[in-house]
Every structure is written in structure tokens, then in C-alpha cells.
Amino acid sequence: MNRQEIIRHYQAHPQVPVLIVGGGVNGIATFRDLALQGVSVLLVEQNDFASGASAASSHMVHGGIRYLENGEFRLVNEALHERNRLLLNAPHYVKPLPTTIPLFKWFSGIFNAPFKFLGWSEKPSERGIIIIKLGLMLYDFYANFKRSMPTHELRLQTETREMFPSIHPDVQMTATYYDAWMPYPERLCMEMVMDAQAENPNAHALNYMAVVGGGENRVVIQDTLSGERWVVHPQQVINAAGPWIDFANEALQRPTHFIGGTKGSHLVIDHPELRRNVGEGEIFFENHDGRITLMLPYFDRVMLGTTDIRIDHPDQAVLTADEVEYMLDMVKRVFPSITVQREQIVFSFSGVRPLPSMDANTTGQISRDHSIRTLEAGNGTTYPIHAMVGGKWTTMRAFGEQMSDVVLTRLKHPRAHSTADRAIGGGRDYPTTPEAQYDWQERMVREHELDPSRVQTLFERYGTYAEPIIAHCANRPSDPLLTHHDGYSHGEVEFITQHEQVHTLTDFVLRRSLMAMLGQLSLPLLHELAGIMGDALGWDEAQRLAQVEATLQTLQSRHRVALSPEQPSRLAL
Ligand SMILES: Cc1cc2nc3c(=O)[nH]c(=O)nc-3n(C[C@H](O)[C@H](O)[C@H](O)COP(=O)(O)OP(=O)(O)OC[C@H]3O[C@@H](n4cnc5c(N)ncnc54)[C@H](O)[C@@H]3O)c2cc1C
């Protein structure tokens, strides 16, 4: 069924066992789990899938070594289990990541740490070598489940300097441990949506659909593209609106104060010298103010992050000039001889962590663990609302399963399957060894007669989900590369537009590809994409121009970058 048919279906049959509000990673993980159990479920997302907090993460798939000092052992244990599972279930999008901590002092933090741990001290203090060593031993212990990566190692000064010649002279040692990262979080979400819908014909996820009202036995949904409103009668509602949970509850006539979010921003930098110095692993370090910050190698760019600032409304989360200064300055903490200029910023993104509302003197102390808060039917409403509060990207599968179990119990619907060992999208039948990958690509070239280098690009970009894209491209009379981006072909853009619920040019450049994120956009490229997507979606000339305008507007207002005819994406703040 297409979008219109799905809406008509629900207008004719408005009774839905489960309605999920919010298509971020937690709503999507729950959707996937319920779909797998055969439950009829509808998910609505007010914007595009994975456009809220799920698009704003530091891209780390990790246990969260920092949470050990807050005593969040349950979370670290669960997150490390989930990290190891994601490495196996989504090997195309979740990759091992050596992570190096530069250490400036031997003993500091030793006396402060137990006090912090017991909640008697809130002051961030520098963490010395001994404390970090103890933390890493504990982290290795928790990571033992399905161990897929080596344990940590410490490097003395000489070895450290061989590896990082420009590192700060005060660094005494470095510690390297393994976590994982995900280059394409938004694509991983999209593949889970597609998997779930393929699995269960009664599972529907619609983007650009906002919950705007509720009460009694009704939930009012508005198509944010057409303005049309429709009503469903759910048996249970899952509020997975992340940082917007309280606003969604208010729309449902059940006001709450569950969320006390903090904003975090990241910069993407085009700086070949910094990129070389960062190397192939993340540098995870404590800044002067005690905050843990990072430099992540991101293809040929470097990602810098992040900040942690209390915020009242998630819609206000955009990069500020102070944050730019803070993040550019923090590079000096590790590489004092490297200067990053504002002109080298090609992209920025900000989002709000959906943290539980709690009184803590420092934002770093707010729990990063997740919980389910249920508002039982009552107060004039016939359905319960389960709010998914918190939740790391890394733990989305476990949180989705826990949410799903609550719903299944109430539906008296037994759990039929687990997602624990279930591959996601292009991670299915993924060839893991270099030989198997070569064979897979050889077979694609042979069966579809597509150029080997295109097959390789598509495999690296999509894993085994590349197969239908390869077939689509090969079936066209010709499939030229884009004039303004030679990493993409017409057929590829057309396929993604037709098959991945793409409605706007912004969906494609921000979330189905990394073009915006890597600072690869230019005005001619936007016009070229609007042309190809317009052919696929039936846009006339005025609509194509409007899509380009809207994308420029979003890049400026949400990501603080501008494109000019002479110059690609650059900071405009
Ligand atoms: C700066 C930052 C760094 C982070 N780094 C990491 C990291 O490195 N690793 C990690 O594991 N985790 C990280 N996280 C945490 C993780 O990204 C989030 O906790 C997770 O993405 C939350 O997902 P969610 O689905 O709950 O929320 P969201 O992704 O925000 O999804 C909620 C969705 O609900 C929609 N919505 C809201 N109201 C309505 C409505 N009325 N109707 C319909 N839809 C609605 C929104 O549009 C939104 O898309 C980070 C988070 C931030 C902000």
C-alpha cells in the first residue's frame, strides 16, 4: 500500500491495537519488535524518520565508559551487550572503533572518584591514569559477552609520541580501548522500518504525520505535508517522542514533566592536517572544564563534539557561536599546534538528549539510563500511554524489546521471536571476510553486468541491501553518474527516492545519504538532485525550485551552513 492507501485504510478501520508516536530509533526499534511478533501496529513520525535526537548523536555505539563513574553499571552492561550484537547484526553500518584517551596526570581523580560515585561530590575533576586504568578494566569485564574486540592497552610517552607526533607535550600516556561507531545512523533506522514492514503487512510506519490531539478513545493525526487530519482509536499508545515526550503527552491531553533534556552540538571539519593527526581511531578526551569530548575520524573529515547544555524546547536546539568557540578551542587540548578556522567547518548538527527530568547540579550527572513511564487509562482517556524516557542509540534494541514486552503482556499476545540475533537490512547475509566480500561483488558484476567499481561503492554504502539497487541501476537503459557528485548515479538516487519514503530533497541529502553531513553539497548538485527526484515523485518545475529553497533554508536554520554559487557548504553563523 502507498501512503494514501494506508491513510484510507485507517480511516476505514480506525481501531489500532498499538500506536507509536515518534519515529526516532526507540520508536522504530519498538515498531520492529512488535511487527516481528505479528502485532498490528502503526507508527507516526511528525517529520522524517530519525530526524530528532537520533540524527544528532556522536555516532558512537558504545557502553559508555563515562557512565561507570555515575555508578550506572546496569546501563554499561546492557549497552556493551547491545554494542556487540550490533557489530554482528548490522556489520555494514556498525564498525569497530579504536578509541584513545590522552592522559595528563597519574593520580588525580582518585580521591574525588569515590565521592562522585556515591553522589557526595558533583565537581568534575581531572581523571588520572590510575582511575582510567580501573575504569577500563571494569569496561573490559562487562564487554566480555560475545567478545568481538581486543581488550584495552596503555602506551607510554615514547610510543604515544610515535603514534601521535603532534600530541600535547604534557600527555604522559595514552590508553586505547575498543568501541564501535556508525557512519549512517539514519539509514540504519530506515532499514529497520523497511524490514518491519516487509515482515508484517499490518505494520505501517508513516513519516510526516504528527499526533496533534487526543482524549477519550481518539488520537488525532495530521499529515504535515497535506494538512489533512484523521483519527484512530488505539488500544495502547507508545509515546516515543524522545525530547518531545511531554509535548506529545500534552497533545494527548495527559500533561507530564518526564523530560529534562540537554542540548549537544557537533561540528564536521574539513582539515586534512587534523584528519591525519587524529588517525583511524577516535580521540576521547577530557577538556579543561572536565567535560568528556571527542574527535572522530569521519571519512575524510573530522567530527568534533560535543556540548551538554540544558534546554527548554527541543525545537530550539541549534549551534551557537559559543559552542563553535568551545569546540574549536578544545582541539588545542590535544594538538596544541593545530588551529582550526571557522571556514573549515562544513556542517553542524545539534539535538537534545531525552534525559529524565531530575535535579542534578551538573548535566553530566543526569542518568543516561532509560525507563518506561505508564499513564494508565483514566482522566477521560480510554487507552494507556507508555512513555519511553531516555535511551541511548546503542541500547535501542533492548529498550524496544522491553517496551514491546509491556505491550504484549497487556495484549495477551505471546512473544514469538527475539531481535537479539536478527540481522538488520544490508547486514543480512553479509559477507564478513575480504574473500567473501570479493565473491559477493563478483557475483553482482556477473549477474547484473554493472561496472565493478560501482558495485564496490554500492556494497560499501549499503551492504547486501545494495543488491536491489544494483539491479535497478543495471535495468536502466543507461545509468550516468551525477554531473555534480561522481559518487552517486541517477539510478541510485531514483531507487532511494522511490523505495525509502522520501518526500523532500532534504530527506535525501540529510538522511538517506551523507552529502550534507560531509559538506559535499553545492547549488548545482541540489538542482540536479531535485531534477531526478522530481521525475520520480512527479514534482513540476515550481516544486523543484521550492525543494531547493526549502533545503537551503533548513541547512541555514538547523545546521548553520550556507551554499553560494562559488562555494560549497560553509559555516554561516
Ligand atoms: C548530542 C547527542 C549525542 C549523543 N551521542 C550518542 C552516542 O554517541 N551513542 C549513543 O548510543 N547515543 C547517543 N545519544 C543518545 C541518542 O541519540 C538518543 O537518546 C536517541 O537517539 C533517542 O531516540 P528517540 O527515538 O527516543 O528520540 P528521537 O530520535 O528524538 O525521536 C523522537 C521522534 O518523535 C517525533 N515526534 C515528536 N513529537 C511528535 C508528535 N507529536 N507526533 C509524531 N512524532 C513526534 C520527533 O520528530 C522525533 O523524530 C546522543 C544524543 C545526543 C542528543
Mean pLDDT along residues 81-96: 96
- 8 Å CB contact between 262 and 355: yes
Name the percent of the chain lying above pLDDT 90.
83
* Alpha helices per DSSP H over 270-390: 272-278, 321-334
Q: Residue 65: its pLDDT value, please?
A: 81
**Res. 534: pLDDT tops 90:** yes
- CA separation for the pair 537, 351 (Å, rounded): 30
Give the mean model confidence (pLDDT) for residues 285-295: 90
Angle at 460 between CA 456 and CA 465, to 5 degrees: 95
Please indicate whether residue 56, judged by its CB atom, sits closer than 6 Å to ligand 1. yes
What integer is the mean pLDDT of 135-153? 79
**Which pLDDT tens digit goes with each residue over 215-249?**
999 999 999 999 999 999 999 999 999 999 999 99
pLDDT at site 136: 85
Q: What is the C-alpha separation between 419 and 406, in angstroms, rounded?
A: 16
Distance 487 CA to ligand 1 centre (A): 29
The pLDDT value given to residue 107: 55
Distances (CA, A) of 421 to 39, 397, 408, 414, 476: 20, 11, 20, 19, 36
The pLDDT of residue 108 is 55
121 pLDDT more than 70: no
Contacts of residue 364, defined as CB under 8 A and 6 or more positions apart, other chains included, come to 66, 70, 124, 290, 291, 292, 308
pLDDT of residue 125: 59
Of residues 140, 143, 44, 59, the one with CA closest to residue 97: 59
Q: What is the mean pLDDT of the chain?
A: 93
Q: How far is CA 28 from CA 128, 248, 393, 499, in A?
A: 40, 17, 11, 17
CATH numeric code, 3-53+186-260+368-411:
3.50.50.60
Find all residues with CB under 8 Å of 232, minimum gap 6, and list them. Answer: 10, 14, 15, 16, 19, 42, 218, 219, 221
Domain parsing of the chain, residue ranges: 3-53+186-260+368-411, 69-81+96-176+272-349, 430-571
pLDDT value of residue 135: 81
CA distance 31 to 46: 16
CA distance 290 to 125: 6
pLDDT bracket for residue 146 (50, 70, 90): low
Q: For the ranges 56-65, 143-152, 368-377, which has the lowest average pLDDT? A: 143-152
- Structure-model confidence comparison of residues 332 and 149, the more confident one: 332
Overall CATH class of domain 69-81+96-176+272-349: alpha beta
What are 321-347's pLDDT values in tens digits? 999 999 999 999 999 999 999 999 999
Q: What pLDDT was estimated at residue 118?
A: 47
Instruction: Give mean pLDDT, residues 441-460.
Output: 97
Q: Can you give the pLDDT at residue 567? A: 76
What does the pLDDT read at residue 465?
98
User: 211 CB under 6 A from ligand 1?
Assistant: yes
pLDDT value at position 225? 97
Does 296 contact ligand 1 (Cβ within 6 A)? no
pLDDT computed for residue 337 by the predictor: 97
Q: What angle do CA 117, 123, 127 make, to 5 degrees?
A: 70
- Distance of CA 59 from the midpoint of ligand 1 (Å): 12
Instruction: Indicate the range of 114-118, 121-125, 181-185, 453-457 predicted with least confidence.
Output: 114-118
State yes or no: pLDDT of 120 exceeds 50: no
In the reported structure, the alpha carbon of residue 102 is separated from the centroid of ligand 1 by a whole-number distance in angstroms of: 30
Asked whether the predicted pLDDT for residue 116 surpasses 60, the reply is no
Task: Give me the pLDDT at residue 110, please.
Answer: 47
Mean pLDDT of 531-547: 98
- pLDDT band, residue 115 (cuts 50/70/90): very low
pLDDT at 361: 64
Mutation choice for ligand 1 from 244, 293, 310, 399, CB with most ligand atoms inside 8 A: 244
Q: Is the CB of 55 under 6 A from ligand 1?
A: no
Are 261 and 354 contacting, i.e. CB atoms less than 8 angstroms apart? yes
**Ligand 1 pocket residue status of 240, Cβ below 6 Å:** yes
Mean pLDDT of 521-527: 96
